[in-house]
Amino acid sequence: MKKKTLTAAIFIVLSTALLLWPMAGAKVQAADKIGWVGPVYKELSASLTAGFKAYYKKTYGKDVDITFVRPGGWPVCLDKVRAWGGKPDADIFLGAGAPAHEVLKKEGLIVPYQPKNSDKVPADWHGMKVKDKGDYWTCFAPWIVTNLYNEKVLKRLKLPPPKTWNDLLDPIYRGNIVHTLPYASGTMHETIEILMQAFGEEEAWKYLRLLAAQLARFSTGSTDTTQLVARGEVPIGIAQPQMNAMAARKDGFPVRDLLPEKTILVPEAVALLKGAPNEKVGKIFLDWLFSDDGQKYVLEGRYFASNTDISFSKWEKEGVEMATHAQKALGVDSFWDLKVDFIEYDLDLATKRWDEVNRKYEYEIYRKWGELKSSLFLIEDVEGEIAAAKDAKMDVAKADAKIKEARKLFEIDGNYPAARLAASKARALLVAP
């Protein structure tokens, strides 16, 4: 009995010691901490975590614990920071474009800090801001709202890559284009907004109607678009975050970026939160992020790096795997070598009419997709007949006027049945003027 008690006592002491031992050990060498919050993809956070941990261990001889919260898209992340009310549970706001960071700045949720090397990031580019003048936020991973295509399939179909928004309307691409619904993807929504702001509303809706007739189908989201293009099922995809082409290449798919002539830059940025509990480590992270080492991990995380002194071919030699894919996807040696023409993007306007634009697209184009196509195809048929009649020296004046009316009904009013009717009348006028 006594022996048993003794054994039990020893056992208890030993096991308690065993339990407490790691805690005591941890106290001696407490790991430093840092927290990130933001909407970046998982690949980027994983890559940055690995890179920063290695760097910290090497430089400070200590481990660093990294927590990363991604509660949702950027509006949700923003709400999260607001909810923390000045006592954030993280130190760094990682990711999201200028709009999010402008709100953070306006609401006093971030503090200025100029990371070392961030002078290598341009202040602005073709009229779009890349970092804040007051150093509140700095872009570390720029990308452009873009399109992409499958080079293998286009080559096989003997089609040249379309260069401009208008090229996409060429009948040779009919049935070879895909995009998603604006309410299923923020990037698609922004593309519509870009078209509206670049070409004017009337022209943009006309364009969208004509583009819809070119589509093979609608995809379920912007990554679904990437997938369809990557596998060649539909060779051209509209409204893509620019990194998707590079990521698809990484997986072995012959996909290339198809930069449209009018678009916008999304300067995926980083900022130090006000009241950050680990401000010191936060600053170390920001300095590292813009170092050559940090930027490599950004690229390995499938985002483009922001420093201007980067060349993909040099990095390729240094063994950065994604550099090859980045170069092949973009067709240039540095992100900043891209030839772009950005529009002046009115974010307030875009935000205000977000739902309205989505609904207009849904009601006027998506829901009537079948009618839209049959209407346009009839108009095109009759136009062909009128052209043939003209060649045969027939009197086509009346029919010509009528078919123009049909075009207008289709393009401007989006009244597809009326456009069909007008086209039928034009055809009748051709036979019996």
Partner 1 sequence: MSRGSISLAALLWLVIAFLVLYPLSILIIESFKIAATGGWGIGNYLEFFQDAYYLKTFLNTLYLSTLVLVTTTVFGIPLAYILARYRHLGKTIFTALILLPIVLPAFAGVFAFIIFFGKYGTVNLLLMDIGLTEQPINFIYGLHGLVFIQALHMLPFIVLGLSAGFTNIDPSFEEAAEVEGASGFRRFFTITLPLCTPSYLAGAVLVFLWPFTDWLTPLILGQVDFLPSVSYINISYHFTDVHRKYMGIVAVVVSSVVCISLFLLARWWVEKKKYTGLSKGTTSEGRVIEPSAWVKSGAYVYMIFIAILVLLIPIVLGLAAFSRRWVFEPFPTYWTLENFRLILLESPGLIKNSFLYSGIALVFGIAFGLPVAYLIVRTRVPGRDALDFVITLMLAFPGIAIGVSYLLAFWKGIPLAQYWIIMPIALFARRLPYFLRMAHSSYLQLDPSLEEASEVSGAGKVRTFFNISLPLLLKGVLVGVVMFFIMAFQEISTAVFLYKGGWETLPIGIYLNWHRGMEFGIAAAMAFLMIVITFILLLIISRIGGGVLKAAWGAGEN
Q: Give the helix ranges, DSSP H, for 117-156.
A: 151-156
Q: Whose Cβ is closer to partner 1: residue 163's or residue 231's? A: 231
- In whole angstroms, the minimum distance from the beta carbon of 24 to partner 1 comes to 29
- In whole angstroms, the minimum distance from the beta carbon of 233 to partner 1 comes to 5
> Which residue, chain included where needed, has tokens 């499958």?
150
- In whole angstroms, the minimum distance from the beta carbon of 121 to partner 1 comes to 27
- In whole angstroms, the minimum distance from the beta carbon of 188 to partner 1 comes to 10
**CB proximity list for 62: less than 8 A, separation 6 or greater:** 29, 31, 32, 56
Q: Whose Cβ is closer to partner 1: residue 188's or residue 310's? A: 188
d(CA 225, CA 180): 7
Which of 334, 277, 287 lies closest to 309 in space, CA to CA? 334
Q: Whose Cβ is closer to partner 1: residue 84's or residue 369's? A: 369
Q: Whose Cβ is closer to partner 1: residue 109's or residue 234's? A: 234
Contacts 24+ apart (CB under 8 A), 336-341: 336/122, 336/125, 336/308, 338/144, 338/259, 339/259, 340/125, 340/126, 340/144, 340/259, 340/263, 340/265, 341/126, 341/261, 341/262, 341/263
**CB proximity list for 72: less than 8 A, separation 6 or greater:** 39
- In whole angstroms, the minimum distance from the beta carbon of 253 to partner 1 comes to 6
- In whole angstroms, the minimum distance from the beta carbon of 13 to partner 1 comes to 34
> Which residue, chain included where needed, has tokens 């999260």?
80
d(CA 197, CA 204): 8
Q: Whose Cβ is closer to partner 1: residue 199's or residue 354's? A: 354
**CB proximity list for 4: less than 8 A, separation 6 or greater:** none
Q: Which residues bind partner 1 (CB under 8 A)?
A: 150, 152-153, 156, 181, 183-186, 216-221, 223-228, 230-234, 244, 247-248, 250-254, 354-355, 358-359, 367
Q: Whose Cβ is closer to partner 1: residue 85's or residue 252's? A: 252
